[in-house]
Amino acid sequence: QYGIISFSFLAPTLCAICTLICLSGVKESATFSFTMACLNVVLLVTFSLYGSFMYGDAGNMEPFTLPNDVAADGVGGFAGVLRGSGLAFFCCVGWDAVCTLSEEVRNPKRDIPWGIMGTLLIVALLYSMLCITLCLMVPTESIDLDAPLAAAFQYHNDNWGYIITSLTATTVCTPSVMSGIVGQPRIWYRMALDGLLFEPFAKLSAQDVPVVGTTICGIIATLLSAICDFEPLAGMTSFSTLAMFTLVNGGIILTRVEEYSSRSSSSPTTTTNITYSLSVFFILSLAFHYVALLHGFLTCSGICLGALDLASLAWVLYAYYAAITPYTNVNLEGCSEPLVGPKGNKPRSASAERVNGGKDDHFHCPWVPVLPAVAIWVNCYLMASLGIQALVMVTVWLVLGIVVYLTYGAKHSKLN
């Protein structure tokens, strides 16, 4: 291993196999992913029960308090828990990719939200079980950071447990790899249909698979996994996913403003104002969290950036309510109800009218703009906790995307 360069054989082999499965069709990919997911659930539950009953020691959980000490690397106590949440977010990567399959689901309005929330709850419970088992099996200071569960069995001289757990790590990673290779090509496919990406990305095979996108995605994943260390890749993936979630939250506020503004001849500067305010709020929130994590909250730079961050949040709220107040009755919770419907009639409900012109058939985000603004702020903290390296790597990919847009997408876009 040399810096972020780390050569591997098993990881690219897994990526190549998953790519071939994804090229065979959506049904085949779904069947394989479901089988692997069921196997993983059985194995994780088995390891949790076996490890807890065979090697669990309640004494390892004492004292049952959050430590206040800080380790040599500056991480410890509650701050360490918060910083660790950024890395743990990698476990949640993939649920957003489920949304790219909405065109291939019978009832996406029902199945997609339930699928995301249901699987997220199940996985959270499974990881919680494993964490409790690990803490029962091994003292906190003896937990191995590279392979904690396998090392826990080795700690008790259980060689079979160590071998089986090590092999299981491959099966646990498989659904995550599949979700990435299945989801990303469909994003490129949709972009190509809109003219934002090259036309070959919009071609489908007889099995309705975007062959070009899937092949390129698989090649990139195989090469990166072969020569790059896992931790920087995980940080970059988590950072980019959090950034995408942040854009979605900002888009919710912006779309809600456009929904109201479209009902009258309001000036387009309303949308411009909210766009500028959201951009400034995001940049200042990210800068504040980076400075706070590196130098502390109660420093001169931390206090100044914190004040500017609060001011930018106030600007977002002001711009939002200034845009919609002429057309709505605004309550204190951030939810708004139109005075009249599109045809002069009172809508069935506030949420029904807020989204999709009165058709109450979609998931409605509550407490706009407060909830999306809070989500942006929290996402910025998680992004900052991943370090500068993740920011640099994502910036490089972002620059490449901007180059593609300026040289091709802007000229061929069908959205203009």
Residue 334 domain-assigned (yes or no): no
Residue 148 confidence (pLDDT) above 50: yes
**Are residues 55 and 199 in contact, defined by beta-carbon separation less than 8 angstroms?**
no
Which of 228, 244, 275 terminates a domain? The answer is 228
Would you say the C-alpha torsion 291, 292, 294, 300 has a positive or negative sign?
positive
Question: How many distinct structural domains can be found in the chain?
Answer: 2
For residues 276 and 223, membership in a common domain is answered with: no
- Give the separation between CA 357 and CA 343, rounded to whole angstroms: 11
For residues 47 and 121, membership in a common domain is answered with: yes
- Give the separation between CA 192 and CA 17, rounded to whole angstroms: 26
Residue 171 domain-assigned (yes or no): yes
Comparison of pLDDT for 199 and 172, the residue scoring more:
199
DSSP summary character for residue 399: H
**Are residues 56 and 155 in contact, defined by beta-carbon separation less than 8 angstroms?**
no
Tokens of 145: 């950071």
For residues 158 and 272, membership in a common domain is answered with: no
Q: What is the CATH number of the domain that holds 110?
A: 1.20.1740.10
Residue 2 domain-assigned (yes or no): no
Task: Provide the 10 A C-beta neighbour count for residue 118.
Answer: 10
Share of the chain above pLDDT 90, in %: 31
DSSP of 188-211 = HHHHHHTTSS-GGGG---TTS--H
Residue 176 domain-assigned (yes or no): yes
For residues 15 and 159, membership in a common domain is answered with: yes
pLDDT at position 30, please?
A: 82
Residue 354 domain-assigned (yes or no): no
Which of 184, 201, 228 terminates a domain? The answer is 228
For residues 80 and 140, membership in a common domain is answered with: yes
**Are residues 149 and 46 in contact, defined by beta-carbon separation less than 8 angstroms?**
no
Residue 203 domain-assigned (yes or no): yes
Please tell me the pTM assigned to this model: 0.77
Mean pLDDT calculated for residue range 190-211: 90
Residue 366 confidence (pLDDT) above 70: yes
Q: Which of 55-59, 64-68, 159-163, 311-315 has the highest mean pLDDT?
A: 311-315
- Give the separation between CA 4 and CA 31, rounded to whole angstroms: 35
**Are residues 240 and 93 in contact, defined by beta-carbon separation less than 8 angstroms?**
no
Amino acid identity for residue 66 in this structure:
L
- Give the separation between CA 141 and CA 153, rounded to whole angstroms: 16
Residue 360 domain-assigned (yes or no): no
- Give the separation between CA 271 and CA 261, rounded to whole angstroms: 8
Residue 214: phi and psi, rounded to 5, are -65, -40
Which of 210, 228, 246 terminates a domain? The answer is 228
Residue 330 domain-assigned (yes or no): no
For residues 109 and 213, membership in a common domain is answered with: yes
* Domain around 378: 234-325+365-412
For residues 213 and 261, membership in a common domain is answered with: no
Mean pLDDT calculated for residue range 280-290: 95
For residues 264 and 375, membership in a common domain is answered with: yes
Per-residue pLDDT of 241-278, as tens digits, reads 899 889 999 999 998 888 776 665 545 546 788 899 99
Mean pLDDT calculated for residue range 271-296: 90
Per-residue pLDDT of 382-398, as tens digits, reads 999 888 999 999 999 99
For residues 266 and 144, membership in a common domain is answered with: no
- Give the separation between CA 308 and CA 267, rounded to whole angstroms: 28
For residues 79 and 160, membership in a common domain is answered with: yes
For residues 265 and 221, membership in a common domain is answered with: no
For residues 192 and 264, membership in a common domain is answered with: no
Nearest to 186 by CA among 252, 104, 253, 265: 104
